[in-house]
Amino acid sequence: MPMTGREYAWKRRPGWWLRNRRYLMFQLREAGGVVCALYGLVLLNMLVQLRAGESAYTAFLDLLRTPPVLYLNVVLFALVVWHALTWFMLIGKAQPIQFTRQPLPWKVVFGINVLLWLGVSGAVVYLIFGGI
């Protein structure tokens, strides 16, 4: 923004996102988005390895089963879950489409979204594994 000569330009402090808990949660949500995209690349690579043949695919699966990758997966999964949950919270707070005269409490919308999410996830698991 244009400034006059004697104004002091505001500068954002490093670590601004540690200033309060909500900024930190926001940054984790955004990091979760990046992780989602990166994990998509891992899954794409799995397809590439599958196309490359059985030995390549088996080697890739063996790599995924090593402890460092498993630990990494736990962290990535936590970030992805946090990303999804925070978006479900936000849907309830915004509600661009209202189905009722008054906006629904955000916790109700959050609960509906989580139930739908679990339902769809369960259906996907059932389709792939034929039940757990």
Partner 1 sequence: MAASDVVFRVKRYRPESGGRPTFQEYTIPYRNDMVVLDGLNYIKDHIDPTLTFRWSCRMGICGSCGADVNGQPRLTCGTYIRDVHKGAVTVEPLSNFPILKDLVVDFDDFLRKLASVTPYIVRKDWGDLTKEYVQYPEDVEAYRQQSLCINCMLCYAACPVFGSSPEFVGPAASALALRYNRDTRDEGADARLARLNTRTGVWECTFVGECSVVCPKDVDPAAAIQTLKFLATMRHMRRLLMPGSSSR
Q: Which of 129, 126, 86 is nearest to 110 (CA)?
A: 86
Q: Is 26 in the site for partner 1 (CB under 8 A)?
A: yes
Instruction: By CB under 8 A, name the one of 36, 84, 85, 90 that touches partner 1.
Output: 90
Q: Is 51 in the site for partner 1 (CB under 8 A)?
A: no
Q: Are 30 and 80 in contact (CB under 8 A)?
A: no
Note the maximum CA span of the chain. Answer: 70
CA-to-CA distance for 132 and 123, rounded, in angstroms? 11
Backbone angles phi, psi at 55, to 5 degrees: -65, -40
Instruction: By CB under 8 A, name the one of 14, 15, 68, 96 that touches partner 1.
Output: 96
**30 or 62: CB nearest partner 1:** 30
**46 or 89: CB nearest partner 1:** 89
Q: Is 6 in the site for partner 1 (CB under 8 A)?
A: yes
Instruction: By CB under 8 A, name the one of 37, 43, 74, 97 that touches partner 1.
Output: 97
